[in-house]
Each structure stands twice: as structure tokens, then as C-alpha cells.
């Protein structure tokens, strides 16, 4: 299949599914693509109430539509890192010394309680903003959908500096990146820009 026909097929598939079935993200060369919400073997899935949530591709970004309620992130990878913020920010930022690091790096994984069922949401305005690292040793597990090995239960959003905000009253868009560890070190092909849209 040529590049033109492959792109056409992807657009047709996304339109046909309207975000409710499998999509393969076609992105700028810098990132991905990652497969999402396939019945079996996608890089990851996001589900609520036992079913995949709507996902569409917009300008190389995975746009995920969610209700302000618990959801699950499933995968066959041993680790997923997810950086989320209330404003758009680049994946890589420099600290005051000029050292550049990804918000998805393990060095920037935020502290969470063992068996955590929360995702950390940052402001997107600080170079030190980091990620939530989802793995069996740190995160609350739930039964995965068939065809997947791991599923992480997300019952809460922890907004840094805004204790009045939570998953139950989430509304609008959170911005960030998701990294799926298909190997020990993340590469751009394992990363996708991501938006979580609540209540819209």
C-alpha cells in the first residue's frame, strides 16, 4: 500500500469508526504512530464502563473524549508514562542550567502513593512539570480487556496546586503526552501528543 493510499485508508477508518473503534494515529515524523483502542494488541486503550472511549486524530494528536468518571488505561507494555497539564506545553523543556529533559522521563515521575489510582495534572508552565508512571509496582490494577495484559484503574485526578479540582468536576481539556515503553528507553516512535477532553 502506497503512502497516499495508506493515509486515505486511515482517514476513512477514523471517519467510519467516529472514534469508537480502532484508530492508528498518523503523526508528524517526530512522534508515533501508536495504535489505540484495537480489540487486541493496540499499544494502549482507554475505556469507561467496559468499552473503548471515543478517540480521534487531530493534527497528529490523540484526542480522547471522557466522562468525568473513573476510567481504565490498558496495554501490553510493562510501563506507560503520562504527562498531563492544564495548559499546552512542549514535551522537552530546559531547566535553569540549560539541561533538557522530557516530561515523560522517569526522572520526572511524580511521587504517588503505592497502588495509586490517580493521575497527576500539572500547570504546564514549569520546566519541572512531570508525569504519572503507570506500572504494576506503583499503580492500582484492574482486570484488563481481552487481548491485554495490564489495566490501570484511574479513579482520580490530582491537580497540583488546585485541591478544589478533581476527576468528578473535570471539564474541558487536559494536554500532554503519552509514552508506551515497548523497550527500556522511550523513543519518539513510542510517544504521542494527547488531549483528554472531559464533558465535551
- For the chain, domain boundaries: 3-198
pTM of the model: 0.84
pLDDT at residue 18 tops 60:
no
Which of 7-16, 90-99, 125-134 has the least mean pLDDT? Answer: 7-16
Tell me how far apart the alpha carbons of residues 67 and 69 are, in angstroms, rounded to a whole number: 5
Which of 9-13, 104-108, 162-166 has the least mean pLDDT? Answer: 9-13
Q: What is the DSSP string of 34-59?
A: -EES-SS--SBEEEETTEEPPEEEET
Amino acid at each position: 500500500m502506497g503512502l497516499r493510499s495508506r493515509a486515505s485508508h486511515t482517514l476513512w477508518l477514523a471517519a467510519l469508526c467516529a472514534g469508537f473503534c480502532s484508530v492508528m494515529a498518523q503523526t508528524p515524523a517526530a512522534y508515533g504512530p501508536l495504535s489505540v483502542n484495537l480489540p487486541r494488541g493496540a499499544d494502549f486503550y482507554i475505556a469507561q464502563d467496559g468499552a473503548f472511549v471515543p478517540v480521534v486524530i487531530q493534527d497528529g494528536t490523540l484526542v480522547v473524549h471522557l466522562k468525568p468518571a473513573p476510567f481504565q488505561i490498558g496495554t501490553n507494555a510493562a510501563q506507560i508514562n503520562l504527562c498531563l497539564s492544564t495548559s499546552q506545553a512542549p514535551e522537552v523543556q530546559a531547566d535553569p542550567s540549560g539541561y533538557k529533559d522530557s516530561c515523560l522521563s522517569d526522572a520526572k515521575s511524580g511521587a504517588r502513593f503505592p497502588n495509586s489510582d490517580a493521575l497527576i495534572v500539572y500547570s504546564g508552565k514549569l520546566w519541572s512539570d512531570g508525569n504519572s508512571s503507570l506500572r504494576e509496582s506503583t499503580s492500582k490494577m484492574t482486570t484488563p480487556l481481552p487481548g491485554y495484559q495490564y489495566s490501570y484503574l484511574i479513579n482520580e485526578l490530582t491537580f497540583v496546586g488546585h485541591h478544589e479540582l478533581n476527576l468528578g468536576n473535570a471539564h474541558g481539556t487536559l494536554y500532554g503526552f503519552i509514552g508506551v515503553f515497548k523497550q527500556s528507553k522511550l523513543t519518539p516512535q513510542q510517544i504521542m501528543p494527547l488531549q483528554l477532553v472531559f464533558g465535551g
